[in-house]
Every structure is written in C-alpha cells, then in structure tokens.
Structure 1
C-alpha cells in the first residue's frame, strides 16, 4: 500500500508539472476571478451581435476546432490538478453531486441528512433542471482555465487564441446516436495525449479524459462505517474499494487497491448497448409531458453510467461512474451530462408549451429535499445561488442562454456563430418544426430505414406505411438502484439480437429498501419504463426466426424467447420475493411512417390501437398474471 501512495505522489508531481508548469501560481492567479461563494452566473461573453456560443459535440470539437480542443485539454487538466481544498477545484465541484457528503457554498441542508446524502436529486422531476446550473458552474471554472492558457499566447497569436477561448463552451458526447455515431472515441481511453500549446509547442501530457487522480485520496471521506443504517456488505465494499482507489476506474479488473481500468470492456459494453440507448431516447422524445420525458431520459442516463463504470452486470468490479456517490469524479461525467442537458434543451424547443408539473418525490429525497415532499418549477435547486438573489429554480433556468450557451440544434439561425464542419449532421433551427426535424433525423432514421427495408418481407404495406410497434412496459415501486436486463433466447445471426436492452434506475445507496423505514409505502412513487422490441424483432425476421411482426407470429415467439433478470446495485440477482415490486408486460400499438424524413414516426396511444398480451409474461417473475 505504501508503494501505491508513493506512486500516486510521483504521478501527481510529474503530471502537475507537465500540465501547468507552475500549478500553484497558476491557480492562485485565478482566485481573483472566482465568483462569490455558491453563486452560479454563467459565462458573460457574447459575440458582437450579442449571441451566445454553442457547446459542440466532442468529436466535432477535436476534428474541426483544434485551438479550442487544445485549450480544452490544457484547461481540464489544470482544473483536475487544482488544490482539492479549494471549493472551486475539480475535486470539490465533483463532491457537490455525492461524496464526500459535505455542504457546499454555505447552502443549507436537512440536519438529519447531513453527512449521509448529496445534493443531486434522482428519480424525481428536478433531475434535469438541477444539473443545468451544476454544469454551468463547472463550465465557469473550466472557462477560467481555458482563458488562462489563451492569455499566455505570444503577441502574434493573441487574437487567434482570445477568439478561441471566448467562444469556447464545454463539449458533450452524444452517446444516443446508436450505430450512426461510431464507437467510444479513442481519445477517452488513451492514457497519454498530445496537446499543442499556444506557442506552437507540441507536448504529450497525461490525458485528463482518461482518469482523475485523487491528490491526495482521503480514505475517511469515502468510508461508510459511520452510517449504521447501511448494510454490512455495502460498508465492506466502500471501505475496501472507494477509500483505497487512488484514481477513477472504468470496468476495473478487481476491487483491490491495485486494480486498473479495462477500457476494452467499456468499448464492448457500449457497442452492445448503443442501439438500445438510441431507441430509448427516440422513445423519450415521444413522451407527452416534460415529467415523463425527464423520467425516460434519466433511465437512459443511468444506462450510460453503467456502460462507462462497469460493475452493473454482476460480472466485474464497479468503476466510479456506476455508483451515484462517486460518479462525478469520472472525467466523462460532464461530457455525459452535457448531452443529457442538450436533450433536455431540444425537448424544450420542440415543445415550448410544456414544462414540469408538481410531483410528489416519494422516497427520492436528498440532503435538501425531505422524502415525501412535493416539488415543482419553483423549488430551489440547492446549492446553486442566483446572482439576483436566492437559489436557482426550474423556472429561472429554462433558457440555456441565461448561462451563456446554446446547442447546435437549439440556437436560432440568426444567432449561429459559424456552421459545424463535422461530418455529423447538426441542425441549427430553434423553432419547433426545425427541432422536430432534427430529432427525427438524429434519433429516428435508423429505425425508419430498417422498417422500410424489412417491411415488404414482414407484412408491411409500404404504400400505407403502417406497422405494429412492440414494447415491454415496466413499472416498479423499488426505491433503490436496479437493472432489469431483457434478452431473447435463441440462435440468431447477430449477437445483438439476444440483448434486447436494459431498464436502469440509479439511486444513492442510502435509498436501499431497509434504509428508509420512515417512508410509508403509500409515498413511494411507482416508476415506469418502456423498452422497445422493434430492432430485435427486425433482427429475428432477418435471421429467419420470425415470420412477421404481426401478433399471430410475435406473441408465440416472445412467449418462448423473452426472458429477463433483475439485478441490484452490485450486479447480484434480486431475490424472487422482491420482484413483487416489478411488473412487466408486452404491448403493441399501431404506428405510421410519414413520407417526409423530417417528420417523426407517428404512434397511436388510444385504447383502440394499443393492445397488451399477458400470455407473453405470464408465469415469469414480475410478469403480468
């Protein structure tokens, strides 16, 4: 263990020197530019026309905006190596989300929850809105680091780098594009990475997107022994893994202190899950209320946490991205959540008349929300203070431009700061019609094209463009983390056919069933899930295992082939008696493919065109009786 600590100290000294040259002096010069404690103001810079810059897809940023890409790497690395005792360091900002369960910015918390819960709300309607000022706060601090490096440019390059820094905004990783967006970017998984300084000097630095290194790791703040209501197994897991792991890991080789990341496992997991993620986001955009949209996006979001972190499938140790308490320390966390914020902004633009309605959060409280309380669009989003006074609320964070940014799909055409040069197609209209066209093209094209190709051989009348859509409808009253994995048994030509997808609900460990005895069963909200079966049925048709997607063929096929298992936060199968909290059923609905590629597929939701088939799940744990 002593050797590990020595190695960590050596790495810290070397990397800090490589990245910042003089890290202490560098960070001290920024303190005069820090905002008041707890206040999130966003970035003030606008172009000459008063327009905000856009947050770009991270591959677009790397391929087509090299100055911003290099400033991003330098700035992120410097932020990661800033003094952990500073309230605006990478470590402290990550700690707002969960561990080490400390109050931040003098924001109040419920006395009986201090030290046992973080600020981030999960499985309630504040999930999307809370993360918007959180990301804006992180972006502010990252922007200061980027500006520092740009200001150090030689005189003949000063204008070039000032322009790059001013218009820089934090990038996102669009993990929801399915097979159209390729695999995990390779620059996420290389330990070292090349960077070009503003003076033209090329240097290889420790990749800030690869891992975050605790400097130092303080075991006591990541140890759960003080929480008597947490089960013994959880205590042991946290005291032997999280309190001894010197850097963030992905799909770690073990839970021992000397474990390393298995990056290949992350690649494989994403390749297996990306089609399901695509279908899930496609389904999210079809939800009729903002609350339903938020719930569906949060499900997909939890899926990505598992894809990056590992340990959710019961076959490997857990990486930092999987447990909510530690996930914000993972460098991909902000890229992931910035994409979630982008999807939120797109839904807002597509449906400007929809917003959050009041909701009882049941047992899904946190350090500032009492379990069983009701939240709405005026609920304070602690710990983020508004410069105008008080805390930000869902109503006051509606417009991303408030914090100084937009997305390629949501920025007005008159506000466009320059077209994207990436081969990934981005829309630039903010009106509802343009946004809906973007959503259809980005997240509906794959399903639509496969339906049109497979249709004639599977009973689809391509002149009428009607087909039968198939889904698993799921519900659960479980208050803790679970993963329901669905699969189709059988010999298919594609490995992807067997993996239907997952329904993921992520909750802090404090929400285990035994840890909330004061919450009456009546206050526990039932969460709903919807898992598309269409891609897998199309694969089965192509493999000759299914004649058509008509009920006469699909129902007996699914009755014999559809299986599932439900796992807990450690990837262990839940006992059969706990599955009484789950209900799974298979239903079909009539759907229509419009002639225009810019129009989304239309799905019927009335009772006349929706039918459920209890025989498919009858007799299976959680199946409809």
Structure 2
C-alpha cells in the first residue's frame, strides 16, 4: 500500500501544490512560495524554505514529514476503496497504517547500507486490478517537465554508488549516534545530529548531495524520518529539554533579523486554522502522537518517566558498545573483578572538525584514515559539508563543527585506548583527505578547505551496567601530537575548541498507539 500511495502522489501533475514535485520543492528548488498568503514576498528568493545550521533544523523537518504523510494516507484511502471482494476490508485497514518508513543508518542490520527495497528499479505490488510490476517509487522520482532536464536535473533523480561509501563509516556513525544522547543541551544535540545527517546526504550521492535538489530523491524522506525518530528519542530521554535561541540562518521565508527560537514560524506549514507551526508544537516526544504516528523506540501509552526509561534502554540496546568477549572487554574498565559482562567505562577518542561553510562551493567530505589506506574498508570516519552546488552556503552560523569518533577504528586495529598507546598511533597514522563531490554528485575529486582545523580529543565515557541509564561523557581533553605538522591540523600552542582541556606534557589526561513507523 505504501508503494501504491507514493506512486499516486508522484503521479500528481507538477502544477498542483499537493504534488510530490511541489512538496519536495519546499526544501529548495524551484524557490517559489508554497500556499502562502497573498502579498507574500520572499526574504531570500534564492534559498529554499529548509532550515540548516539552525536551532530549528530538527523541528522544521517534523511538519515537513507530516505533510507528505498526510498526502500518502489520503491516496492510500482512495486506492483502498478500489479493492473488491473479501479482502477489501483488509486493504482499507492497511490504508490507515501507511506511514513514511525510516532508514536507520546506524543499525547493525543495515550497517549504513541502503535498504534493498530502495535500490530496486521496479517492484511487484498487489493493485486493485491484481498483481502488477511498477516502477519503484522509492528508487527515484521521474520529473514530468522536460524543462527540468534542460536545467541540469535530468529526467529522474539519481544516486551515487553509495553502499560501500556509507558502510565505510558505519562504526563511527553508530558511535556518533550514541553520543547524541550524552548531549546535555538541545542545541548541541541538534547540531550533532545535523552533522551526521550531512554525512549521509553526501555519501548517498547523486541528487542527495545538493541542498536545492535533495528532497526530490524519495530516500530523502526515509533519511529524515530517521532524523525525526532520533529527535523523538532524544526528546523522550531528555523530557522538558528544548531548543534555545540561536542566531538565525536565513531561508526563503525568514530574513536575517532576530534569532530562531521556540516561537519562530516554521514556514510554510500551517495548522487547519491557518496558524503557523512553531517549534512549540513539536518540542516534546508526545507531539508525534498528536500527528498520528509513533516509533517502536518511542511508544504511546506510557508515562513520561516510563517512556524515558524505555527509550533509554532502546538507545543502549541499539547503539551502545558491547563487551561480550575478552577481545572487546580489554577496552573497558570494570569493578576490578575481571572481565566485565557489560561495559562500564572507556576512553573515547574523536577527531573534531571546524570549517567555514562559506568556503565550500558544493558538498565536501573529509575522510579520516589510520595509515595510508585507500579503500573504503579502512576509513576511520567521515565528516561532510552539505552545501549548494554553485554558491557557498554563507550563513551567520558560518562555522561548522563536527566530531568524528575514532574509537571504533582503534578497537578494530587492536590499539589500546590509553593515551600512552593511542597518541603515538594517531601521531604516526592518522591522516585525512578533503574531497568535493563532482557536479553530477556521483564521484569525488580532491579539494582544499583552507579554514579546516582538525583536533584530536578524548573523553572519559561511562557506560552504566543499568541499561535504563544513559552513558555519560567527561570533559574533552585535546592532544596536539596527532595533528601537529599536518595540513589542516591543530598545531602546538594554538587554542583548542572552547571548553576543551589540553593534555599534560606527558600526553595523559588530567585525573578525572498511534501507527508505528517501520524500519527498512
């Protein structure tokens, strides 16, 4: 039923404001008003409505998903009415359950690979007329207007050769996903989640690489359903924590005046009474139930405290490192009684990235490797800049920050996690390569980012044996040795990231039910 309803939405003529083309176009191209009041004047006519590098990044995308989900449900109900016979009731019930599925790119099941059903050009479905093979609406969107092909869009959306690229940074991405839940401020969580989100966009390739075109690829909505899911999980595990005002990043509808806060309108989305959506509408985990859906990790029918405990256990179950074998247990410390059955603490190592988005024309990736490895299998982690293809993404929030976990790569190479063992290895083997996506989004070419600063930090992380408690991380400690003398690396004597301690001279740190969405 999902395939039939998505196909029906994609078949709506592109001049209809409820067509797939126009809904996808809200995010960026073609830079036109969507259901605005008469007299509306764009604040920035060469940008989309989407919010990036913004306090409202996570909250804006929630009503965006709700909009498409409403259209899918409406089409599903209409299609269900066409089924006849004894199964008609079953199809009508199925229509009520149609939701956008999420792609968990940090799960052990996919290990960041694109789900198989999304990669099939055609797919078999049960239609009202019987069994049929149709063009898979999750595989691509076919543009109806020939003018788009002439403007560089092509006749349909495309992707790069993504699976090996995505899988190469799976372990680092999984650790980064867990780290989201150690953030004690919502804005930091949002920034860190957007960083992971950016890397997935750039690694999927094709149209997903370009901000103005990315939402036309159907995988965009599966990707953002997972962003929304992780947001709901964070809201459930941190009840009452909401975004705080931050300098505005201008959009099609929002000018540069004033900060973005809980009351900033989430243009162009409106309630039935024409009130603008704001982040106040979507700042609690329970808000998703209001709009007709839930996630397996954020169930309805529980108290706030019960949901907090349930979701926390899911976070640990899905993303926390395990110490089930002696080979892995050596990287953790326990209670002194031998190999711990569950991890309790270890030193986490990361490469912190700072770069100015205004320097980047087009989307870039920064690949971190241990040694001179050239294959995807030996990548330690990836950071990315998700940008416009022809002009720099200049915003008041110009400085992009990302933290790339290195611990999984160190463990994979059997490197101990104490500073005495880790620092020399990172000094001798850590390197990074900056590359820009090609104009068609399917390849990479060497690039340079002069504003790039890479630093290496460690955090003392505690993983409670009680899985109803979230992991915690201590203050970061910066080490100069791994980056000194390397292009783009933090050099000895330079100021580390604000709030980060520096290592002692010997290299050691100081003492210290609605319908549930389905996973693809």
* Contact 1:117–1:510 under 8 Å retained in 2: no
Show the counterpart of 1:141: 71
The structure 1 residue matched to 2:294, chosen from 374, 399, 406, is: 406
Quick one: structure 1 residues 176 and 456, their matched pair in 2 at CA, closer, same or farther if it must change by over 3 Å? Answer: closer
Aligned counterparts of 1:414 and 1:284: Cα–Cα separation in 2: 23
Greater displacement, 128-137 / 581-590: 581-590
Show the counterpart of 1:441: 317
* Contact 1:410–1:429 under 8 Å retained in 2: no
Show the counterpart of 2:504: none
Quick one: structure 1 residues 135 and 217, their matched pair in 2 at CA, closer, same or farther if it must change by over 3 Å? Answer: farther
The structure 1 residue matched to 2:13, chosen from 55, 68, 83, is: 83
Matches within 5 A, 1:178-577: 178=108, 183-198=113-128, 201-219=130-148, 239=151, 241-242=152-153, 245-251=154-160, 265-309=161-205, 319-361=206-248, 364-371=249-256, 373-398=258-283, 399-413=287-301, 431-444=307-320, 447-449=321-323, 453-456=327-330, 462=339, 465-479=344-358, 480=360, 481-490=363-372, 498-509=378-389, 512=392, 523-541=396-414, 546=415, 548-568=416-436, 570=438, 571-575=444-448
Aligned counterparts of 2:78 and 2:109: Cα–Cα separation in 1: 38
Deviations 1:372-396 (A, max 9, x none): 6411010001111122332100002
Aligned counterparts of 2:106 and 2:237: Cα–Cα separation in 1: 18
Deviations 1:314-349 (A, max 9, x none): xxxxx1111011111101111111111111111111
Deviations 1:238-286 (A, max 9, x none): x5x32xx1011112xxxxxxxxxxxxx2222222232222122112122
* Contact 1:589–1:604 under 8 Å retained in 2: yes
Quick one: structure 1 residues 79 and 171, their matched pair in 2 at CA, closer, same or farther if it must change by over 3 Å? Answer: same
Query: Any stretches of 5+ residues in structure 1 without a counterpart?
Result: 1-70, 224-238, 252-264, 310-318, 416-427
Deviations 1:447-472 (A, max 9, x none): 22378632338988645943221111
SS in structure 1 opposite 2:170? helix
Aligned counterparts of 2:43 and 2:237: Cα–Cα separation in 1: 41
Aligned counterparts of 2:258 and 2:390: Cα–Cα separation in 1: 17
Aligned counterparts of 1:530 and 1:191: Cα–Cα separation in 2: 36
The structure 1 residue matched to 2:30, chosen from 76, 80, 100, is: 100
**Do structure 1's residue 113 and structure 2's residue 44 form an aligned pair?**
yes
Shift of 1:401: 2.2
Shift of 1:112: 5.8
Shift of 1:75: 0.9
Shift of 1:598: 4.5
Aligned counterparts of 1:358 and 1:490: Cα–Cα separation in 2: 43
Shift of 1:302: 1.4
Shift of 1:158: 2.7
Shift of 1:591: 2.3
TM-score (norm: length of structure 2): 0.84
Quick one: structure 1 residues 596 and 112, their matched pair in 2 at CA, closer, same or farther if it must change by over 3 Å? Answer: closer
Shift of 1:508: 3.1
Aligned counterparts of 2:122 and 2:366: Cα–Cα separation in 1: 36
Deviations 1:196-222 (A, max 9, x none): 1256x2111111111111112323xx8
Deviations 1:79-120 (A, max 9, x none): 111111111011111111111111111257654622x11110
Matches within 5 A, 1:48-63: none
Aligned counterparts of 2:488 and 2:482: Cα–Cα separation in 1: 12
* Contact 1:497–1:536 under 8 Å retained in 2: no
Greater displacement, 464-473 / 116-125: 464-473
Shift of 1:586: 0.9
Show the counterpart of 2:441: none
Shift of 1:534: 0.8
Aligned counterparts of 1:367 and 1:193: Cα–Cα separation in 2: 37
Aligned counterparts of 1:473 and 1:491: Cα–Cα separation in 2: 20
Quick one: structure 1 residues 389 and 82, their matched pair in 2 at CA, closer, same or farther if it must change by over 3 Å? Answer: closer
The structure 2 residue matched to 1:122, chosen from 40, 48, 52, is: 52
Aligned counterparts of 1:574 and 1:109: Cα–Cα separation in 2: 40
Show the counterpart of 1:596: 466
Aligned counterparts of 1:450 and 1:590: Cα–Cα separation in 2: 20
TM-score (norm: length of structure 1): 0.71
**Do structure 1's residue 621 and structure 2's residue 477 form an aligned pair?**
no
Shift of 1:597: 4.2
Deviations 1:100-149 (A, max 9, x none): 111111257654622x1111011111111111111111111111111111
Query: Any stretches of 5+ residues in structure 2 without a counterpart?
Result: 439-443, 492-520
* Contact 1:490–1:498 under 8 Å retained in 2: no
* Contact 1:183–1:270 under 8 Å retained in 2: yes
Greater displacement, 175-184 / 456-465: 456-465
**Do structure 1's residue 587 and structure 2's residue 457 form an aligned pair?**
yes
Quick one: structure 1 residues 278 and 466, their matched pair in 2 at CA, closer, same or farther if it must change by over 3 Å? Answer: closer
Aligned counterparts of 1:180 and 1:330: Cα–Cα separation in 2: 20
Deviations 1:518-543 (A, max 9, x none): x7xxx4443321111111000111xx
SS in structure 2 opposite 1:321? helix
Aligned counterparts of 1:136 and 1:458: Cα–Cα separation in 2: 42
Aligned counterparts of 2:264 and 2:388: Cα–Cα separation in 1: 21
